[in-house]
């Protein structure tokens, strides 16, 4: 009898944890400015997570600002939508900004196989907040669980062909690799 109660309690805890994380992720895909859609991919092709920083002071700009910059026809990227799949704000709030099937333009040589996650802040000059780091860990665990495999975590600068300091020297990536 106690065995069954224990199993039910464990299942309840697992379900509540998943629901809590799902409630932490706010889908704003259709609320962001866009100029079209990205090419789509099969989810089986995803094998990595690429971490970015916004390279702007934490909280100075919003995810809507990032989306406007990315789609600007006079800007650098000229993308159809924001370049990232997720954005994590300084307070730890997680926004989903693209479908996981979207081959968004966040990292040269890794767009087709990677999920792009940006943390709002400049981690060359400042530290990620504890809330951001906690949310990033939870999001990585969630994605590993969703894909039923361990996705390799990279910083943007670690992918060949990307001349960048992103996600900044102050974000210690090893903290997020073995989750």
Q: Output DSSP code: residue 158.
A: G
Assess contact for 125 and 61: CB atoms under 8 A.
Answer: no
> Which residues are CB-contacts of 79 (< 8 A; sequence separation ≥ 6)?
35, 38, 70, 71, 104, 105
User: What distance in Å separates the CA atoms of residue 178 and residue 23, rounded to the nearest whole number?
Assistant: 24
Cα atoms in the Cβ-side hemisphere of radius 13 Å centred on 28: 19
For residue 137, what pLDDT is reported?
A: 96
> Which stretches of the chain drop beneath a pLDDT of 50?
19
Token output for 140: 């990585």
For residue 61, what pLDDT is reported?
A: 95
pTM of the model: 0.88
26 phi and psi angles, rounded to 5 deg: -105, 120
């Amino acid at each position: 009898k106690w065995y069954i109660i224990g199993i039910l309690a464990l299942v309840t805890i697992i379900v509540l944890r998943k629901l809590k994380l799902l409630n932490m992720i706010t889908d704003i895909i259709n609320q962001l400015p866009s100029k079209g859609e990205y090419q789509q991919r099969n989810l089986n092709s995803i094998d990595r997570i690429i971490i970015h920083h916004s390279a702007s002071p934490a909280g100075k700009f919003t995810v809507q600002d990032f989306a406007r910059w990315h789609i600007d026809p006079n800007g650098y990227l000229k993308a159809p939508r924001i370049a990232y799949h997720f954005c994590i704000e300084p307070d730890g709030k997680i926004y989903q900004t693209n479908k996981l099937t979207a081959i968004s333009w966040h990292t040269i040589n890794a767009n087709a196989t990677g999920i792009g996650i940006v943390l709002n802040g400049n981690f060359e000059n400042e530290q990620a907040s504890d809330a951001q780091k906690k949310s990033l860990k939870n999001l990585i665990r969630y994605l590993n669980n969703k894909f039923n495999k361990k996705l390799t975590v990279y910083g943007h600068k670690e992918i060949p062909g990307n001349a960048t300091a992103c996600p900044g020297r102050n974000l210690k990536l090893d903290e997020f690799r073995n989750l």
